[in-house]
Amino acid sequence: MSIAKKGVSKRKKRLNRSWFGTLMLFSFIGLFGAFMALPLIYTINNAFKPLDEIFLFPPRFFVRNPTFTNFADLANLMANSWVPFTRYMFNTVFITAVGTAGHIIFSAAAAYPLAKHKFPGSNVLFGIVVLSLMFSPHVTAIPNYMTMSVLGWVDSYWAVIVPSFAFPLGLYLMKQFMEQIPDSILEASRIDGASEYRIFWKIVMPIVKPAWLTLMILLFQQLWGTDGGNFIYSEELKTMHYALGQIIQGGIARAGAAAAVALMLMSVPIIVFLFSQASIIQTMSSSGMKD
Amino acid sequence: MDISKSDHVKQRKEKQSILQQFKRNVRMHKHSYILMAPYFSLFFLFTVLPVIISIVVSFTYFNMLELPRWVGWQNYARLFLEDDVFLIALKNTFLFAAITGPLSYIACFVFAWIINEFSPKIRAFLTLIFFAPSISGNIFFIWLIIFSGDSYGYANGFLMKLGIIYEPIQWLQDPQYVLAIVMFVQLWLSLGTAFLAFIAGLQNIDVTLYEAGAIDGVKNRWQDLWYITLPSMRPQLMFGAVIQITMSFSVADVSMAIAGFPSVQYAAHTVVTHLIDYGSIRFEMGYASAIATILFLMMMTTNLITQRLLRKVGE
């Protein structure tokens, strides 16, 4: 609420824009907005197109006679497959849910001391985390494969889930956000005799709820679309995204079912973001890097 | 306050050696270390240690079956002197870093800046529209349908209807187009975390700064932008730069999904796809580690230089 109010008051006080400027602004954002949204709208439309519309020439963008046959086709196709579709769904949901929950708890626990205590090594540790934002996980992929094979985690969920607990971006955002918590609150509970663990769990965790949602979206980005990478070989452990790839490989005969899966895959993260947007923006306002 | 504090510290230093003080300090913060232990043990196991292992293994020949054999700089020599495909990959990666990197960064800022001009409800809607592609799973494969090589593809269908072309273009099989299309899709996906950070940064700029600016002689919006907006959100700009640079150096999934793996004449081959080729298909771990080490150095150097430059914004 406070953010929204600030925005309104700011616009009133700022320099005025000409009507031409306003027009340009609207057309610019409209044009690029359409570009961003078209593929998404297309996916939604395609999922409800009957086959004859999917293969219409010249192709038409919007659906004329919406139908649910694609979903029915998908259900049929999947009922007959060796691994039931619900299993792929379960795998994706399980990996995303466990990975996200673990990541939020682990990184919050590590972020709290880094944000609120000065102790030997705290700056070095956080410095390493910031540096690790500067390269992508591809760099560590090969040693991680070796580690997984030593641990015996190849071909299990854990090879995907456990490394996701320790993604650096989540800890970084969590720590930056926690720095805003007033010390007086923590001090008051310390005087009341609460242990550090209790303060973390009962006071800090509830305050940083907006950051939970942010980490959730970030992990969604990483895990929801995973196909198990090099780690998962067993068919019954594979994810929905992998199943989608297989259906698309089926070519023309499977185009309808593929459109239905695509819609299912796409809508979940977007809906999550829809409900958590305000919290995420709130977390991001403390995301900056200090000199 | 400060003076008395440092006096106090000095006195204590006289009484006990630095080592003892360190031990005491560690003991006092025992709970901090315990809270951090789970995260940091995994972080070191899966992020820090692998970088070190990767550098060491890059000097060996290792195929996961036999024990690694020390070969010195041989892997690096082979990469730069004998491996033509790697040089193509390197060229493409630099193209991504030089084109999609800055473009996506500017796009993140410009769209955040414009979106910030609207009322909160429209702003929330526009944020959703622009951010959605980057979180909607690997939905970018629909560009495959749009750029499909037959006349059912939307791009071909549209251009043929307009009469610009008379026969379908093989967008994804033609080395002439493939790299540009991958860049295009990469840009479509790139309004992610940095974009959100910019929106948040813009909303938090102190309003009084603009009023003060107007009094000090800021005449138009461009001056507003350069003298007030950009310096005020420098921390977010630095954070966003790290995210976008790292992203633009690590193009792989999009290239593999859109252009295929390997792509036609390696037209969309990047350092990361080269790494995947040697690491998870050919299992030449030493050679792949050398690729990973070079990737690591490229990303770190670019990021650290950019951080230096961004500190100068608005000064």
Closest CA to A261 of A231, A282, A241, A275: A241
Residue scoring higher pLDDT (A291 or A116): A116
pLDDT at A188 over 60: yes
Q: Are A288 and B197 a contacting pair at CB < 8 A? A: yes
Parallel/antiparallel/unpaired status of strands B60-61 and B69-70: antiparallel
pLDDT at B259 over 80: yes
Nearest chain A Cα distance for residue B201, angstroms: 5
Residue B101 confidence class, pLDDT cut points 50, 70, 90: very high
Whether residue A17 lies inside any domain: the answer is no
Per-residue model confidence (pLDDT) at position B303: 94
Tokens matching residue A108: 């919050």
Amino acid identity of A163? P
pLDDT at B48 over 80: yes
The arithmetic mean of pLDDT across residues A104-132, rounded, is 92
**How do residues A242-291 score in pLDDT, each as one tens digit?**
887 777 776 666 777 888 888 888 888 899 899 899 999 999 988 888 75
Per-residue model confidence (pLDDT) at position B238: 92
Closest CA to A102 of A165, A172, A160, A174: A165
Classify B70 as helix, strand or coil.
strand
Residues of B in contact with A7 (CB under 8 A): 116, 119-120, 123, 203
Chain B: residue nearest A26 by CA?
B114
Classify A60 as helix, strand or coil.
coil
Q: Are B210 and A14 a contacting pair at CB < 8 A? A: yes
Task: Please tell me the distance from the alpha carbon of residue B216 to that of residue B183, in angstroms, as a whole number.
Answer: 43
Residues of A in contact with B272 (CB under 8 A): 136, 138
Phi, psi values for residue B60, rounded to 5°? -125, 170
HSE of A139, CA atoms in CB hemisphere, 13 A: 26
Residue A13 confidence class, pLDDT cut points 50, 70, 90: very low
Most confident of A73-87, A205-219, B129-143: A205-219
Per-residue model confidence (pLDDT) at position A4: 42
pLDDT at A172 over 50: yes
Classify B118 as helix, strand or coil.
coil
Per-residue model confidence (pLDDT) at position B12: 59
Residues of B in contact with A11 (CB under 8 A): 117
CB atoms within 10 A of CB B96: 26
Residue scoring higher pLDDT (B119 or A108): A108
B212 touches chain A (CB under 8 A): no
Chain B: residue nearest A13 by CA?
B211
Q: Which of residues 50-89 of B touch A (CB under 8 A)?
A: 50-51, 53-54, 57, 64
CATH of the domain at A221: 1.10.3720.10
Whether residue A99 lies inside any domain: the answer is yes
Give ipTM to 2 decimals: 0.86
Q: Which of B138, B193, B203 sits opposite A218 (nearest CB)?
A: B193
Give the count of domains, chain A. Answer: 1
Per-residue model confidence (pLDDT) at position B314: 64
Per-residue model confidence (pLDDT) at position A244: 77
Residue A63 confidence class, pLDDT cut points 50, 70, 90: confident
Chain centre distance of CA B172: 25
Tokens matching residue A205: 């965790």
Q: Which of B53, B152, B234 sits opposite A143 (nearest CB)?
A: B53
Whether residue A175 lies inside any domain: the answer is yes
Which CATH number is B84-310 given?
1.10.3720.10
Q: Are A163 and B46 a contacting pair at CB < 8 A? A: yes
Residues of A in contact with B42 (CB under 8 A): 106, 162-163, 165-166
Q: Please tell me the least confidently modeled range out of A79-83, A264-268, B194-198.
A: A79-83
- Distance in angstroms between the alpha carbons of the first and the last residue of chain A: 30
Whether residue A279 lies inside any domain: the answer is yes
Q: Which of A9, A140, A281 sits opposite B200 (nearest CB)?
A: A281
Residue B138 confidence class, pLDDT cut points 50, 70, 90: low
CB atoms within 10 A of CB B125: 15
Q: Please tell me the least confidently modeled range out of A66-75, A169-178, B239-248, B279-288.
A: A66-75
Query: How does the average pLDDT of chain A come out, rounded?
Result: 84
- Show the domain range for A98: 79-284
Whether residue A254 lies inside any domain: the answer is yes
Per-residue model confidence (pLDDT) at position B13: 58
SS3 content of chain A, % helix, strand, coil (to 5): 75, 0, 25
Nearest chain A Cα distance for residue B265, angstroms: 23
Q: Which of B161, B188, B191 sits opposite A58 (nearest CB)?
A: B161
Whether residue A48 lies inside any domain: the answer is no
Q: Sign (positive/negative) of CA torsion B198, B298, B183, B255?
A: negative
pLDDT at B199 over 90: yes
Residues of A in contact with B201 (CB under 8 A): 284-285, 287-288
Per-residue model confidence (pLDDT) at position B43: 95
Residue B142 confidence class, pLDDT cut points 50, 70, 90: confident
pLDDT at B255 over 70: yes
Classify B249 as helix, strand or coil.
helix
Residue B5 confidence class, pLDDT cut points 50, 70, 90: low
Phi, psi values for residue B61, rounded to 5°? -100, 120
Classify B1 as helix, strand or coil.
coil
Q: Which of B35, B123, B151 sits opposite A112 (nearest CB)?
A: B35
Residues of B in contact with A54 (CB under 8 A): none
Per-residue model confidence (pLDDT) at position A169: 93
Whether residue A265 lies inside any domain: the answer is yes
DSSP label of B45: I
Per-residue model confidence (pLDDT) at position A252: 66
Per-residue model confidence (pLDDT) at position A194: 87
Closest CA to B249 of A138, A223, A222, A289: A138
Per-residue model confidence (pLDDT) at position A231: 79
Nearest chain A Cα distance for residue B99, angstroms: 18
pLDDT at A7 over 70: no
Most confident of A89-103, A210-224, B132-146, B155-169: A89-103
Q: Are A284 and B200 a contacting pair at CB < 8 A? A: yes
Q: Are B196 and A218 a contacting pair at CB < 8 A? A: no
Per-residue model confidence (pLDDT) at position B150: 75
Per-residue model confidence (pLDDT) at position A105: 95
Per-residue model confidence (pLDDT) at position B1: 47
Classify B29 as helix, strand or coil.
coil
Residue A219 confidence class, pLDDT cut points 50, 70, 90: confident
Look at the block and give the residue holding tokens 């949602």.
A213
Q: Are A13 and B31 a contacting pair at CB < 8 A? A: no
